Amino acid sequence: MTSKGIVPVEATSSKFRGCIAPGRWTLCLGAGLSRGIVPTWFDLTLDIVNATFGSKYDRTTFENFVANSGWSLDAWIQAAANEFLATGRKLEDFNNLLESLLYQQLRNAASGAPIERHLIRVLNNPITVERNRIFEVCEFFESTYKDSSLLAVVRFLISAAKADRRPYAIITFNADTLLETLTYLFLRRDHYRGPPPHGHPRYYYKSVHRPTLIANHQIYEKANIFHCHGTVMPRQVSPSDPKDSRDRLVFLEQEYLRIAGTSASWPETLFLFHAQTTRMIFVGISMADANMRRWMSASEMELRQDYRRISKGKRINPEHLWITRRPSDPAMSRLKLVSMLHLGVRPAWIDEWVQLEGSLSNMLAH
């Protein structure tokens, strides 16, 4: 691939309206999507370390520890899990801690609000919970997190589905289940605001957090939301175990190493299939994950071979798009533009994250 003619996508520009509309596309989501609602990867790691070892490190102190150690964040989480096992506790106990810390910010935000006592029950049962609770929870999220990227993507997914423009699939690396939960809740609220009869709305998306669910529960008129790193639902005070996949979590270093060293793991085959057969749109992802970069590189090498044979290698701009903020420094803009050509990815610039919903709608032309 030559650098001549390579251009970034201006995600809000009319020039790029409809640029992802032709063909199949996959939305690929990372931790940045839920920023402000659940902890960042760094903050979650800090909370886990403090809770496990009884430390009281502040953010600055822990940043220095991480920088000086050279350890990845999953290695620090692994150390905490090792401490649980070394002191006679079970991995299930560690996952319960993870769940508590993952949703603590959300619980704190609802503290004192009328919805506080119902919030977790609603989030665990978005399709069956009573109608009045749906309106309360939707209002809570809109008033508390009105500018969040998560709500922007939820609104976009609903409008895209109603316009018959939904993605072929969604792959999320996030353990929280807020994306599908809020999508179901807002679909129900919109339905109840419309004329009767009021049964259930059409659910355009289905959560898949185990590979067996693809074979047993595939529904072809719905787009699957694949949780390739497992899920942790917010547990109620005294319910039966939630229907999540915390046993498949990829939070520990040993799990990352297992995936990196194992051929044909579910996350790898799932990701590669969509990378090679659809255009991928990345949101809330730093593009720093070593496994993801390895998969993208493998996919790009396959595609390049085809382009050399079919079109004499004339492809210039990569198909996959990374939605990210435009750097203020022109040199950094150029660096980011060419930095992932070997992965088949180029940036789609936005200036502020509040433009996310509009940029997605523009590139999909709906």
Tell me the per-residue pLDDT of 140-187, one tens digit each, with 9 for 90 and over.
Answer: 999 999 999 999 999 999 999 999 999 999 999 999 999 999 999 999
Residues 69-109: pLDDT tens digits?
999 999 999 999 999 999 999 999 999 999 999 999 999 99
Q: Is residue 140 part of a domain?
A: no
Task: Give the predicted TM-score (pTM) of the model.
Answer: 0.92
Which domain does 216 fall in, by range?
9-33+149-364
Residues 206-260: pLDDT tens digits?
999 888 876 555 556 789 999 999 999 987 554 555 578 888 888 888 887 888 7
User: At residue 2, does pLDDT exceed 50?
Assistant: no
pLDDT of residue 242: 59
Same domain, 237 and 203: yes
Same domain, 209 and 349: yes
Structure tokens at 257: 């190493």
Q: Is residue 116 part of a domain?
A: no
Phi, psi at residue 24, to the nearest 5°?
A: -90, 145
Q: Is residue 64 part of a domain?
A: yes
Same domain, 98 and 241: no
Same domain, 229 and 85: no
CA distance linking residue 175 with residue 227, whole number of Å? 7
Q: Is residue 117 part of a domain?
A: no
For residues 114-126, average pLDDT: 92
User: At residue 3, does pLDDT exceed 50?
Assistant: no
Residues 331-342: pLDDT tens digits?
999 999 999 999
Same domain, 159 and 253: yes
Give 364 or 236, the one with higher predicted confidence. 364
Same domain, 29 and 53: no
Same domain, 237 and 282: yes
Same domain, 92 and 230: no
Same domain, 66 and 182: no
Parallel, antiparallel or unpaired: strands 25-29 and 9-10: unpaired
The number of residues in the chain equals: 366
- Give 339's Cβ-side CA count (13 Å radius): 14
Same domain, 339 and 285: yes
Q: Are 160 and 366 in contact (CB under 8 A)?
A: yes
Same domain, 83 and 29: no
Q: Is residue 238 part of a domain?
A: yes
Q: Is residue 110 part of a domain?
A: no
Residues 278-310: pLDDT tens digits?
999 999 999 999 899 999 999 999 888 877 777
